[in-house]
Structure 1
Amino acid sequence: MADIKRIETNARMSEAVICNGIVWLAGQIGAEGASATEQTKAALAEVDRLLAAAGTDKTKLLSTQIWLADMADFAEMNAVWDAWVAPGHTPARATGEAKLAGPGYKVEIIVTAAL
């Protein structure tokens, strides 16, 4: 049986789950109503924090899903992403448009990383 570790668990979800040397993060968001730039910065700061809590970092990213409420924010989000992502360690990535949890949310980022 695999050993499973959960980080910041509540009744609905865990912010991160670790199993077999892989860490999965829940979707990370910024403050509702902030710009796409600020939401992306905040979401990536949470990714950094949670990866550190799991014992890894962004150089170990395997895959990323980025959801935008409006693809018009793609370039704005990418400017923040490009400044954040570790050169030479870019993950497989998909970006799509989706209705997010609230009307003021513009960006949600989900990552999977190796330990």
Structure 2
Amino acid sequence: MSIERIEVGKRMSQAVVHDNTVYLAGQVAHQNAGKSVAEQTQEILENIDRLLAEAGTDKTRLLSAQIWLSEISSFNEMNEVWDAWVAEGNAPARACVESRLAAPKFTVEIMVIAAK
């Protein structure tokens, strides 16, 4: 069983591939930090697409998603972007909760697991 790590840092890897499963770290919007929930969600989903492609898979193979919102009142705004992005008929198992994030400029964080 091999393990491949993508974008390895001192504290964490952005993605880890083990056998035929891809685990992504929680993604936040660095370029759109401090901007709207929709803008942050869009950037995060683009990062997820990029990391999944680098790992040899894509959003049609999502197994699960965890979403953290700094304010649950932004649930509908995030979902508008999410719903336009998720592959029709391939929605993952998903949880979405309100939580304090690592920095106030981040209002959304998303972590996914996908099959290869």
CA distance in 2, matches of 1:100, 1:32: 12
Counterpart in the other structure of 1:87: 88
Q: Which moved more, 1:27-36 or 1:58-67?
A: 27-36
Q: Structure 2: 5+ residue runs without aligned partners?
A: none
The code of the aligned residue for 2:23 comes to W
Shift of residue 69, structure 1, vs aligned partner? 0.3
- The alignment covers a number of residue pairs equal to 114
Counterpart in the other structure of 1:112: 113
The two structures have a TM-score, normalised by structure 1, of 0.97
Counterpart in the other structure of 2:10: 11
Shift of residue 20, structure 1, vs aligned partner? 1.6
Q: Which runs of 4+ in 1 moved over 2 A?
A: none
CA distance in 2, matches of 1:61, 1:39: 20
CA deviations 1:29-58 (Å, max 9, x no partner) are 113201000000000000000000000000
CA distance in 1, matches of 2:10, 2:34: 26
Counterpart in the other structure of 2:57: 56
The two structures have a TM-score, normalised by structure 2, of 0.97
Give the secondary-structure state (helix, strand or coil) at the position aligned to 1:11. Answer: coil
CA distance in 1, matches of 2:40, 2:111: 13
- The alignment-based identity, stated in percent, is 56
Counterpart in the other structure of 1:98: 99
Q: Structure 1: 5+ residue runs without aligned partners?
A: none
In angstroms, what is the RMSD of aligned CA positions? 0.5
CA deviations 1:58-102 (Å, max 9, x no partner) are 000000000000001000000000000000000000000110010
